[in-house]
A and B are shown apart, each in its own frame.
Chain A
Amino acid sequence: MSPKQRPDFYDRSSVPTGNLLANARKQALARGLYDFPIIDVDAHHREDTASWQGLIPYIEDDAIRMFAEDVTRRESAAGMMGLEIRWHSNSGRIVRPGVNGFADSLSDDGRDPLVRRTIWAMDEMAIDYTILFPTAMLFLGLHPQPQVEAGLARAYSKWLTREILPQDERIKTMLYLPFNDPQAALRIVEDFSDDPAVVGFMVTSVRYKPVHSNEFAPIYAALQERNMPLAFHAAYNWNDQSLSLLNKFISAHALGFTTSNMVHLTNMLMNGIPERFPRLKLLWVESGLAWLPFMMQRLDNEYLMRTAEAPALTKLPSDYMRDMWYSSQPMERSAKQSVMEATFDIMDAERTLLYSSDYPHWDFDAPSTIYDLPFLTEDAKRRILGGNALDLFGFKAESSATPPDDDATVTATEHGEPVAPPIGP
């Protein structure tokens, strides 16, 4: 019987599925990853209906809250964000327990499923601390109403710090800053920076206000004063005039996740933000690593020819870049080893690179991606996987992840859930 004669041949639900992170646990055990601190500086949760319903009461503006209630009843939280166009869905091909309708069987210990699911994945991957960020909100910076971005960001901050993060001290966050409303962003810094679970603040990079604008100076000053990092999280906007020339998700994603950070980093450098705020800690998230040698060479080369155009600078752009930090995922690993080695060298990765998983997103990296790099010393591996993040964020951490034993292991499900619509002839 060929696939054409068997209707369920391509159906996900016909595939037996066990603990989908069991192999990550095996990797961690074989490499001794449970023996030292691993900090994941960028993992995500999805704004599913349940968590969104918990967040809605924290929305202060009546009109925004009423719309959030309405849109959540009818569709999902994503209906409130900017446009996110998709193509060639991974649904069914990529599977994460508890995500996209795929079941999991987490035991109920009274904590929010988001917390239990996050801690479960961390334990399987030997991650001790995770810095958690939402998913659909990555596109919120595109919202044409600044008050909606600000209102949702503030409600999210309250909900996360009051209801979710107190449930487990291993989950931290960098809170979303609504950069289309600088005053609202500053208020979030002022109101939440003392929360022990808030280790920094995040700007989603898909947005159209230049980050060197003077209106952001009070925010940079406030963060510098508090010694708290400001991260820029890359994403893609397929509606961007340049990216809209691309006809595939792979193209828009591959370019968008680098160009969105390239633009902001270039503005930061050429306008001397590191000179004006020399103790401001900048972290660039989810652009991978291959963009860094390109940016360093490209900007240095032009700076040497047009030095007069960037008078705020007192050293090469690449020198400033080595004073910043970078998350590792999605780490490009397809080139020759010497290319990767040169990348690590030019960015001074032993000091500037921070491991990130991006779990549960489709291009996540397990800690083994760092640990298995043959050109790193054991000390460098441990610095990238955890030590650098501990220094940057300034919190103390013991190695607290423990490998779940087989009996305690949360399995996904005996069989995959049907994915609608099923693919097939």
Chain B
Amino acid sequence: MTERERTQVRVGPVAEFRDGDRRIIDVGGTQVGVFRVDGRFVAYENQCAHQGGPVCEGQYYPRMEAVFDDTGRSLGERANYDVPHLVCPWHSWEYDIHTGEMVGLRGLKLRAFQTEQKDGDVYVIV
């Protein structure tokens, strides 16, 4: 089997991405969302692992955390805004934006693509 040919596609200048910004590009019919989060770039196919919804067009939602005390009593829930999840706009499936993992079913992942930075631009390898 020969290795599939990979294409390096320029997404745009790194400087145009604030933290959290994204751009969705079309590479030969495959839509790829490129995100800058916490200073690094990640890229995923714009297709949810659930029903194929446009996950890269979803908003971020903070990780919700249950708070218990040492005696097992519930003290409520809090939003951890330092851990943004990417949420598919079709059915609200949530993914860890850093890893592409479905947070309710670890091990199920969005199709990820490698990114590179070169001469002030960000590229995605498809």
- Please tell me the size bucket of the interface on B: 20 to 34
- Would you call A93 and B61 a contact (CB within 8 A)? yes
Find chain A residues with CB under 8 A from B19 CB: 1-3, 6, 9
Contact with B along A358-370 (1 / 0, CB 8 A): 0000111110110
Find chain B residues with CB under 8 A from A16 CB: 22-24, 57
Partner of A9, one of B20, B51, B57, B90: B20
- Would you call A10 and B60 a contact (CB within 8 A)? yes
- Would you call B24 and A18 a contact (CB within 8 A)? yes
Find chain B residues with CB under 8 A from A3 CB: 19-20, 60, 62, 81-82, 84
Partner of A94, one of B18, B51, B84, B89: B89
A362 and B90 alpha carbons, distance in the complex (Å):
7
Find chain B residues with CB under 8 A from A424 CB: 81
In the complex, whether A90 has a CB less than 8 A from a CB of chain B is yes
Partner of A6, one of B18, B62, B92: B18
- Would you call B90 and A17 a contact (CB within 8 A)? no
* Residue of B38, B46, B60 with highest tally of chain A CB at under 10 A: B60
- Would you call A23 and B53 a contact (CB within 8 A)? yes
Residues of chain B in range 4-38 having any CB-CB distance to chain A below 8 Å: 18-24, 38
* B83, closest chain A residue (CB): A3
Find chain A residues with CB under 8 A from B89 CB: 17, 20, 93-95
Contacts A16-B22, A364-B90: A27 and B52 contacting too (C-beta < 8 A)?
yes
In the complex, whether B87 has a CB less than 8 A from a CB of chain A is yes
Q: Is the interface of B mostly helix, strand, loop or mixed?
A: loop
Find chain A residues with CB under 8 A from B91 CB: 94, 362-364
* B77, closest chain A residue (CB): A88
Partner of A366, one of B18, B52, B92: B52
Find chain B residues with CB under 8 A from A4 CB: 81-82
Q: Is the interface of A mostly helix, strand, loop or mixed?
A: loop
- Would you call B52 and A22 a contact (CB within 8 A)? no
A14 and B59 alpha carbons, distance in the complex (Å):
8
In the complex, whether A92 has a CB less than 8 A from a CB of chain B is yes
A229 and B54 alpha carbons, distance in the complex (Å):
36
In the complex, whether A421 has a CB less than 8 A from a CB of chain B is no
A12 and B57 alpha carbons, distance in the complex (Å):
10
Contact with A along B48-78 (1 / 0, CB 8 A): 0001111001111110000000000000000
A97 and B60 alpha carbons, distance in the complex (Å):
19
* Residue of A93, A362, A368, A369 with highest tally of chain B CB at under 10 A: A93
- Would you call A23 and B82 a contact (CB within 8 A)? no
A10 and B61 alpha carbons, distance in the complex (Å):
6
In the complex, whether A15 has a CB less than 8 A from a CB of chain B is yes
* B105, closest chain A residue (CB): A334
In the complex, whether A425 has a CB less than 8 A from a CB of chain B is yes
* A17, closest chain B residue (CB): B57
In the complex, whether A66 has a CB less than 8 A from a CB of chain B is no
- Would you call B59 and A92 a contact (CB within 8 A)? yes
- Would you call B90 and A94 a contact (CB within 8 A)? yes
- Would you call B46 and A23 a contact (CB within 8 A)? yes
Can you name 13 extra interface pairs (CB under 8 A) apart from A3-B19, A22-B54, A93-B59?
A: A2-B38, A3-B82, A6-B20, A9-B81, A9-B84, A10-B60, A14-B20, A16-B24, A17-B57, A18-B57, A24-B52, A364-B90, A425-B81
Give the top 7 A-B pairs by smallest Cβ distance, nearest first: A95-B89, A1-B19, A9-B20, A425-B81, A12-B59, A93-B87, A93-B92
